[in-house]
Homo-oligomer: A and B are copies of this chain.
Amino acid sequence: MTTLHIFNQGTLQSALLQRCIETMSHKDALIFIEDGVVWATDSPLTSQLLGKAPQNAGIYVLSEDLGARGLSELKAESVAVVDYNGFVELTEQSQNTLSWF
């Protein structure tokens, strides 16, 4: 993996997520944390944008933040759940990280 993109903003910042996704390559990964976890839910609003991510790029969501907001049941199938341990692991596997906010 090259770059791990860290996204922590909600849907009011859809323009920022769109740019994040446009910037990603298929070797990158993206993790949603904090308010960004709403993007990892299964809904008409989110699926359109997430569908534009490069194929093979890993899309993750932080379980602690998803659970805090009561959204675990609504998680989209295309997004993988990791906890903080897994978040750290993703940063080990990537060469660098880019935070979007």
Contacts and interface: CB of A to CB of B under 8 A. Distances in A.
A49 B11 CA distance: 17
How often does this chain occur in the complex, in copies? Answer: 2
A12 interface: yes
Interface residues of A, number: 6
A15 interface: yes
A12 B12 CA distance: 8
A14 interface: yes
A78 interface: no
A46 to B, nearest CB: 12
Nearest to A11: B15
A16 interface: yes
Interface of A: 11-16
